[in-house]
Amino acid sequence: MKHILSILFCLNALMLQAQSEWQHLPNSPQSGRIDDVFFLNEQLGWCATSGGEIWKTSDGGTTWEIKHNSNSYFRSIEFLDENIGYAGSLDSKFLRTTDGGETWTNLATSITPIPKAVCGISIPSAEVAYAVGQWDSPAFVLKTTDGGLTWSRQNMGNQALALVDVFFTHPDTGFVTGQGPSGKAIILYTTDGGQNWTKKFQSDSNGQYVWKIQRVTPEFWVGSIQTFNGGKFVKSFDGGQTWTEYSAPIPDMQGIGFSTPEHGWVGGYISGFYETMDGGNTWDYKDIGGNYNRFYFLNPDLAYASGASVYKYSGSASGTVQPGAAKPYDDGFTLKLSPNPARHFVEVQFELPVRDNLRMGIYSADGAFVQEVYHEWQLAPGSYRFKADCSALKPGAYFLGVQRNHGLYSRPFSKL
């Protein structure tokens, strides 16, 4: 009897494993990186790309129809219902549609000052919505209380250097995530619609962001930490009131998604895709695409993810899983340092293939931020060269960390 039960258990586990898979959607839009994906129900969804495109699906991702095309880098998208939605870009466009994406209006020009980058959107009610930015500073929160007709802008410089994601559970109650004034990853919380903010989490190291946040259940939440050194993520078991930091398999983590407190996935810009079955104690590499930025769960058995492609998770999946489909997008960015070792300065050369925002900083070997050496907005494509002063650095090992719209890069060097 024990042998029969054991066999049945194994067969059941194998069936569940075979039925619960992430799949690359073969007809997914291919326009650079897909930075965000949002589904209203099992069939109706949208995605936004770095190639300036907004796409819509009405059949669960089997086919897609383009609804907007521009020269913008779109980072965020969310809908209230089948008609009203918003899309945020990294180049001064914050769009609104009232007809399901057929036409879009740029709200950014009516907001003072104009938000250069809208990285996250949350719509807790028909009248109230929030949006945040920007990943490379300054930090701000946008809010509407009249269904998107008018927006206020709150300067968050005292609480944050940069904001990336936002999630409101109620018109007055929610979280924003990003980087604090000291360069440490933070989560802020409000219960009065943003009039006051309380710090609920701050990391120990500089040069980090809480990049994405997810409510798995009302009590259980997770967040990804993007860093240059040593992967980290955070969990909360009390509705976001307290957070604990845990080790993760990748440092450049952006996307994070859990179906239960035990079963989850993380993905980075370059590092790939990992799965845990024990709440993050152990992780297994899965060769399923790359460039992950957002996981969106409709329920524990149905989810979508955005990255080099759109990916779909189903508890009753049919068809063939396509491991390795849509590998991480390489747009041709190059970075060189000389001399190495350096004495008084290090010359930085980089080739920029597309218009981009860049922040560069020097970090210690253990990942602690030391100093910023470069910060430029909307650089044109081309070759660039400059000298970074490192004369004040103590002798030792360092690395140059580069943050772009398109991802993280680093190069080691030594100071004599």
Q: Report the C-alpha gap between 42 and 292 in whole angstroms.
A: 21
Query: Given this model, what pLDDT does residue 345 score?
Result: 93
Query: Given this model, what pLDDT does residue 111 score?
Result: 97
| pLDDT tens per residue across span 359-397 | 999 999 888 889 999 999 889 999 999 999 999 999 999
| Sequence-separated (6 or more) residues with CB below 8 Å from residue 332 | 351, 353
Query: Given this model, what pLDDT does residue 234 score?
Result: 98
Could you tell me the pLDDT band of residue 407, with boundaries at 50, 70 and 90? confident
| pLDDT tens per residue across span 293-313 | 999 999 999 999 999 899 999
Mean pLDDT of 227-256: 94
363 bridge partner residues: 369, 399
Domain boundaries, the chain: 21-314, 334-415
Report the relative pairing of strands 253-258 and 264-268 from DSSP bridges.
antiparallel
pLDDT at 218 over 80: yes
First to last CA, the chain: 71
Nearest to 184 by CA among 143, 265, 245: 245
- What is the rounded radius of gyration, in angstroms, for the C-alpha atoms of the chain? 21
Mean pLDDT of 14-31: 72
Query: Given this model, what pLDDT does residue 328 score?
Result: 55
* More confidently predicted of 86 and 316: 86
Query: Given this model, what pLDDT does residue 11 score?
Result: 39
What phi-psi label fits residue 106: left (phi over 0), alpha (psi between -120 and 50 degrees) or beta? Answer: beta
Task: Return the CATH architecture of domain 21-314.
Answer: 7 Propeller (2.130)
pLDDT at 321 over 50: no
Q: The whole model's pTM is what?
A: 0.90
Task: Return the CATH architecture of domain 334-415.
Answer: Sandwich (2.60)
pLDDT at 3 over 70: no
* More confidently predicted of 81 and 251: 81
Mean pLDDT of 231-242: 97
Query: Given this model, what pLDDT does residue 330 score?
Result: 67
Q: Report the C-alpha gap between 172 and 247 in whole angstroms.
A: 32
Q: What is the largest CA-CA distance in the chain?
A: 75
* More confidently predicted of 294 and 4: 294
107 bridge partner residues: none
pLDDT above 90 covers a percentage of the chain that reads 75
pLDDT at 327 over 80: no
Average pLDDT value for the chain: 90
pLDDT at 344 over 60: yes
Query: Given this model, what pLDDT does residue 59 score?
Result: 97
Could you tell me the pLDDT band of residue 15, with boundaries at 50, 70 and 90? very low
Fold matches, 21-314 and 334-415: no
Nearest to 208 by CA among 230, 190, 188: 230
Task: Determine contact, residues 165/198, Cβ cutoff 8 Å.
Answer: no
